[in-house]
Amino acid sequence: MKNYKNASKHIAVLAFPFGTHATPLLNITRRLSEAAPSLVFSFLSTEQSNAVTFPNGEKVDKIQPFNVWDGLPEGFRFKGDPHEPVEYFLKAAPENFMKAMDVVVAETGKPIDCLLVDAFLWFSVDIAADLNVPWMALWTAGPRALYVHVDTSFIRQHVGINDTLEKPLDFIEDFSSLSVADLPDGIVNGKFEAPVQALLDKLEQVIPQATAIAANSYEYLDNQVVNMLKSRFRNFLNVGETHRKKLPEGFLERTSLKGKIVPWAPQQKVLQHEAVGVFVTHGGWNSVLESITGGVPMIFRPFFGDQGLNTKTVEAVWGFGLGLEGGMFTKEATVKALKVILSSDEGKKMREKIAVQKELAFKAVEPNGSSVENFKKLVEIMSSS
């Protein structure tokens, strides 16, 4: 392959092929390939994930997709449990990624010089050690979520089995407005053996081994937490199939005059439209960032993972969003939240606060901005390692 023959370094990019994880990993890989023309990238993910990430066989200069087996047994049928395919994938992933990289090296004739991975793939640190190459991780959630996952042992020491969910996290700097209830599952409660919780439990041991950690955020948003992470890691750098079938029968028809449901929409562009006054969201980190860059306050209904932590952080620490009362969609709770944000002095203050963060977010990506400088450092580390 021509690109590989002339490249100074070959970077293997290992994706976690579930949810929206592969997209930010490809985005940063694109940026790296543009900023460092001498590097070439092999993007490894499952066939299904690659088909979505590289639609219609899309060609990206100096980025070549390769398929990794998803681990599903022959004849597997999805029964509605989203954890099941994740569990199959993770059980087979270490061996499957090794086999796939052997294929990559054989086909390209270029040894692998560095691993850039989704931080969820904790086992890849051992692969990097076997290959004697640098291991760099992308963390796609927010800084607070990373902090609680790398400080799990410390948190467990301070939260006893008899402590209530309302116990404040005042033993962690800048977390006093949050409580035990806001922690993601698997820290002190929840299904510890669930596949995603189990892999996150490994982060405390493996993340400190990273040559660099790239985070999907910007310096000004959570500066105190970011500084704590920087003090602990070598290089912590802020670089800034639909489930529609599970809807009740006839749901789309019954609600067609009240709203619109689509498998996908250009969320970032929608949020930057001047007509949008509030964003009702599950609280995923990408959605939080896109709402900030749109200057739109949020109403939250979190479901799992870091979404509860993001909800309480936006509401209690940053002050430009609200969680639904009772944590559920009801007419009363939704109307109450809408009135607060759209028609009250409190809502006006939220819009003012998020407008400040919007300005800071864009400042971070200006020439010499913090995200730009952090990205330059990431390129330098990757090119020289």
Concatenated DSSP letters of 143-197:
HHHHHHHHTHHHHHHHS-TT--TT-B-TTSTT-TT-BGGGSPTTSSSS-TTSHHH
Domain assignment present for residue 384? The answer is no
User: Does this model's pTM top 0.95?
Assistant: no
Domain assignment present for residue 293? The answer is yes
Domain assignment present for residue 325? The answer is yes
The total number of structural domains in the chain stands at: 2
Residues 238 and 273 in one domain: no
Indicate the pLDDT class of residue 241, thresholds 50, 70 and 90: very low
Domain assignment present for residue 21? The answer is yes
- Residue in 21, 151, 222, 306 annotated catalytic: 21
Residues 232 and 336 in one domain: no
For the chain, the C-alpha Rg in angstroms (whole number) is 21
Residues 2 and 129 in one domain: yes
Residue 134: how many other CB atoms lie within 10 Å:
18
Domain that holds residue 335: 265-373
Domain assignment present for residue 306? The answer is yes
Residues 153 and 50 in one domain: yes
Q: Is 174 one of the catalytic residues?
A: no
Residues 52 and 190 in one domain: yes
d(CA 16, CA 57): 19
Residues 342 and 290 in one domain: yes
- Residue in 10, 70, 113, 118 annotated catalytic: 118
Residues 31 and 134 in one domain: yes
Indicate the pLDDT class of residue 378, thresholds 50, 70 and 90: very high
Average pLDDT, the chain: 89
In tens, the pLDDT along 321-377 reads 999 998 888 999 999 999 999 999 999 999 999 999 999 999 999 989 999 999 999
Domain assignment present for residue 316? The answer is yes
pLDDT(163) > 80: no
Residues 346 and 312 in one domain: yes
Q: Please give the average per-residue pLDDT across 21-27, as a whole number.
A: 91
- CB-based contacts of 117, cutoff 8 Å, min separation 6: 13, 14, 124, 135, 136, 137, 138
Q: Is 118 one of the catalytic residues?
A: yes
Share of residues in the chain with pLDDT > 90 (%): 67
pLDDT for 247 equals 60
Residues 25 and 138 in one domain: yes
Residues 271 and 225 in one domain: no
- 88 vs 77, which has greater pLDDT? 88
Q: Please give the average per-residue pLDDT across 54-81, as a whole number.
A: 86
Q: What is the DSSP letter of 60?
A: B
Domain assignment present for residue 129? The answer is yes
Q: Find the CATH number of the domain harbouring 216.
A: 3.40.50.2000
pLDDT for 369 equals 92
pLDDT for 34 equals 93
Domain assignment present for residue 383? The answer is no
CA atoms within 13 A on the CB side of 325: 11
